[in-house]
C-alpha cells in the first residue's frame, strides 16, 4: 500500500481477484523447462504403450490399403453401394474426416486472429490432426470413383483434357470440391510447417544423434531465431492465418455444395454451408479433445495443456453444438414451411423411416451431449469430457450418414426406393482409416514437438520485456 500523498506516480489499480486470468503455463515454469518438457517428449524413448498402439494402428492402416487394393482390382461393387444410394459410407467418411480437420484450422488460424493466446498450447497437435484427417478424407472420394485411373488421369479431377479432348466441367460442385480440399490440405501443411520451423531448430540444437541432427537441421532450414527473420516470419504467419480463415469457411461450404446444389430432397437447402461449417468445428473439437486429453496426462504436460484449455474447448463444443442443434430444428421447420411434400417427406423419413436409429443416434450425441457443458464441474472433469468427446465423434459421423443415405434412399419415385446396407469392406475400410490417422499421429508424437515450443514461450510473462518476470526493473 502506498502511503497517501507521498507517491507521485499514477499507478493503475490491480484488477480484482476474480478478473485476474489464470496463467497459460502453470506453476510459473521457466523457459528452459518448457523446452525440456516439450522437446523431451520426442527425444526420450517412447513409453511402453506407444508400441502396441503403433502396431495396432499400422495393422489398421494395412487393412485399409489392402481393402482399397481389393476394391480397385475388383470394382466399386465390393462396397454396399447400389441404386439408389450411390453415395453412402464413402462420402460419409469423407465429410466426417474433412470436418475433423476444421478444428485444427480454427484453433491455429481463427483463434490466432482473435488473439486467443491459449491456442498456443494446442495448435500444433490440432494442426497435425487436420493434416492427417485431410489425408484420410482424400482417400474416399478418390477411390469411390472405382476406376481410379480415370479419375486421377486427366479428364475428371485435374484440369487436363481427357481422351476425347474434353476438359473437366467447372460448373459442377464436385470439381469445386477437388480444388477446395486439395488447397485446404496444401495450405494446412504449409501453415503447420511454418509453425514448426523454429521448433525444429530447437530440436536441431538439442539433438545428439547424427540422423536426428541431419533431418532437424535440414527441415529447420538454418533457422537462427534472428529478429530480422522473426519480423518477416510473424508477418507471414499472420498472413497465413488470415488466408486459412476464409479457406476453412469455404472448404466445408463447398463440401456442402456437393449436396445443396443438387435437387435431392433433404439436400437442396440454403442452410447447408453455415450448418456444415458449425458441424465441422463441433466434430473437430470433439476429436481434438479425444486426442489431447490422453496426450497431456500420458506425457505429463498438464502444466502446458491446462484444465483451462480443456474447459475453453468444451465451451466451443457447447457453442457449435448448439448451432448444430438449431440447424436440425430449422431444417425441419423449413421442410414444413417450404411446402414441398417431397422435402417434408424426406425429413419425416429421417426421423421415423427405416433409418430412424441413425437419426436418433445423431440427435442424442449431437444435440443432448454438448449441453452437459453448461456446468463448470463437468467441463473440468477430464474423464467426463473425454467420454462426451467420443459421443461427439460418433454423433457427427451419424449426421453425415443421415444426410447422405436417408436422403438418397427415398427420393421422388417410390419405385426407385431402396435400402442401403454396408458390406464388410465398407466397415473395415472405415475402421482402417482410423489406423492410418493414428499411425500418422503416433509418428508425429514420436518425431515432432507436440506443442509449439516457441509460441508457448512467447505467451509466458518471462517473454515480456516489461514484466518483472521478464527481467524488467522498475516501471517505465
Residues interacting with another protein, by CB under 8 A?
A: 30-32, 35, 159, 161, 165-171, 173, 175-176, 179-180, 183, 186-187, 190-191, 194, 198, 201-202, 204-206, 217-218, 221-236, 239-240, 243, 246-247, 250, 254, 257, 454-455, 457-458, 462-466, 470-473
Please state the separation of Cα 360 from the chain's center in Å. 24
Residue number with CB closer to another protein (7 or 226): 226
DSSP 4: T
Q: How far apart are CA 342 and CA 249, in angstroms?
A: 30
CB of 452 vs another protein, minimal distance in Å: 10
Residue number with CB closer to another protein (242 or 341): 242
Q: How far apart are CA 101 and CA 135, in angstroms?
A: 10
CB of 260 vs another protein, minimal distance in Å: 12
CB of 264 vs another protein, minimal distance in Å: 15
Task: Give the angle 339-344-347 at the CA atoms, nearest 5°.
Answer: 150
Nearest to 404 by CA among 20, 87, 15, 177: 87
CB of 29 vs another protein, minimal distance in Å: 11
Nearest to 418 by CA among 89, 96, 80, 92: 80
Residue number with CB closer to another protein (74 or 224): 224
Residue number with CB closer to another protein (229 or 308): 229
C-alpha cell at 288: 481434438
CB 440 within 8 Å of CB 130:
no
Instruction: Report the residue count for the chain.
Output: 476
Residue number with CB closer to another protein (390 or 463): 463
SS3 86: coil
Residue number with CB closer to another protein (121 or 439): 121
Residue number with CB closer to another protein (243 or 319): 243
CB 92 within 8 Å of CB 405:
yes
CB of 178 vs another protein, minimal distance in Å: 9
SS3 135: helix
Q: How far apart are CA 32 and CA 22, in angstroms?
A: 21
CB of 20 vs another protein, minimal distance in Å: 20
CB of 43 vs another protein, minimal distance in Å: 13
Residue number with CB closer to another protein (75 or 470): 470
CB of 144 vs another protein, minimal distance in Å: 21
Q: How far apart are CA 416 and CA 291, in angstroms?
A: 43
Residue number with CB closer to another protein (213 or 315): 213
CB of 131 vs another protein, minimal distance in Å: 14
SS3 249: helix
DSSP for 274-325? HHHHHHHHHHHHHHHHHHHHHHHHHTT-TTTS-HHHHHHHHHHHHHHHHHHH
Amino acid at each position: 500500500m502506498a502511503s497517501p500523498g507521498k507517491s507521485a506516480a499514477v499507478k493503475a489499480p490491480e484488477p480484482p481477484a476474480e478478473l485476474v486470468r489464470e496463467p497459460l503455463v502453470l506453476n510459473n515454469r521457466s523457459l528452459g523447462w518448457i523446452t525440456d518438457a516439450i522437446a523431451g517428449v520426442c527425444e526420450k524413448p517412447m513409453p511402453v504403450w506407444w508400441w502396441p498402439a503403433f502396431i495396432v494402428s499400422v495393422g489398421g492402416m494395412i487393412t485399409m490399403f489392402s481393402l482399397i487394393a481389393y476394391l480397385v482390382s475388383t470394382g466399386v461393387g465390393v462396397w454396399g453401394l447400389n441404386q439408389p444410394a450411390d453415395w453412402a459410407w464413402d462420402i460419409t467418411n469423407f465429410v466426417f474426416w474433412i470436418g475433423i480437420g476444421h478444428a485444427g484450422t480454427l484453433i491455429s488460424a481463427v483463434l490466432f486472429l482473435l488473439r486467443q493466446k491459449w491456442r498456443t498450447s494446442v495448435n500444433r497437435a490440432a494442426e497435425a490432426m487436420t493434416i492427417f484427417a485431410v489425408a484420410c478424407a482424400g482417400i474416399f472420394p478418390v477411390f469411390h470413383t472405382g476406376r481410379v485411373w480415370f479419375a486421377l488421369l486427366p479428364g475428371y479431377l485435374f484440369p487436363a483434357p481427357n481422351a476425347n479432348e474434353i476438359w473437366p466441367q467447372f460448373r459442377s460442385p464436385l470439381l469445386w470440391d477437388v480444388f477446395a480440399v486439395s488447397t485446404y490440405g496444401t495450405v494446412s501443411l504449409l501453415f503447420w510447417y511454418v509453425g514448426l520451423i523454429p521448433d525444429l531448430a530447437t530440436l536441431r540444437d538439442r539433438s545428439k544423434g547424427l540422423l536426428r541432427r541431419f533431418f532437424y537441421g535440414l527441415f529447420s532450414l538454418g533457422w537462427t531465431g534472428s529478429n530480422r527473420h522473426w519480423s518477416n516470419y510473424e508477418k507471414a504467419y499472420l498472413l497465413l492465418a488470415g488466408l486459412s480463415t476464409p479457406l476453412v469457411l469455404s472448404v466445408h461450404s463447398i463440401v456442402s455444395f456437393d449436396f445443396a446444389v443438387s435437387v435431392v430432397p433433404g439436400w437442396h437447402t440454403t442452410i447447408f454451408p453455415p450448418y456444415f461449417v458449425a458441424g465441422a468445428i463441433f466434430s473437430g473439437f470433439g476429436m481434438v479433445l479425444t486426442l489431447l486429453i490422453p496426450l497431456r496426462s500420458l506425457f505429463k504436460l498438464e502444466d502446458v495443456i491446462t484444465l483451462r484449455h480443456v474447459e475453453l474447448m468444451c465451451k466451443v463444443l457447447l457453442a457449435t453444438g448448439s448451432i448444430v442443434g438449431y440447424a436440425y430444428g430449422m431444417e425441419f421447420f423449413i421442410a414444413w414451411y417450404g411446402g414441398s411434400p417431397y422435402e417434408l417427406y424426406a425429413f419425416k423419413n429421417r426421423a421415423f423411416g427405416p433409418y430412424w436409429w441413425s437419426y436418433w443416434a445423431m440427435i442424442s450425441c449431437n444435440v443432448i451431449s454438448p449441453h452437459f457443458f453448461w456446468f463448470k464441474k463437468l467441463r473440468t472433469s477430464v474423464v467426463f469430457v473425454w467420454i462426451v468427446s467420443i459421443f461427439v465423434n460418433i454423433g457427427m459421423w451419424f449426421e453425415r450418414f443421415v444426410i447422405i443415405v436417408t436422403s438418397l434412399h427415398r427420393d421422388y419415385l417410390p419405385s426407385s426406393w431402396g435400402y442401403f446396407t454396408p458390406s464388410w469392406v465398407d466397415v473395415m475400410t472405415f475402421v482402417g482409416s482410423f489406423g492410418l490417422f493414428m499411425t500418422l499421429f503416433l509418428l508425429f508424437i514420436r518425431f515432432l514437438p507436440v506443442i509449439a515450443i516457441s509460441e508457448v514461450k512467447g505467451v509466458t510473462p518471462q517473454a515480456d520485456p516489461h514484466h518483472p518476470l521478464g527481467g524488467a526493473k522498475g516501471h517505465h
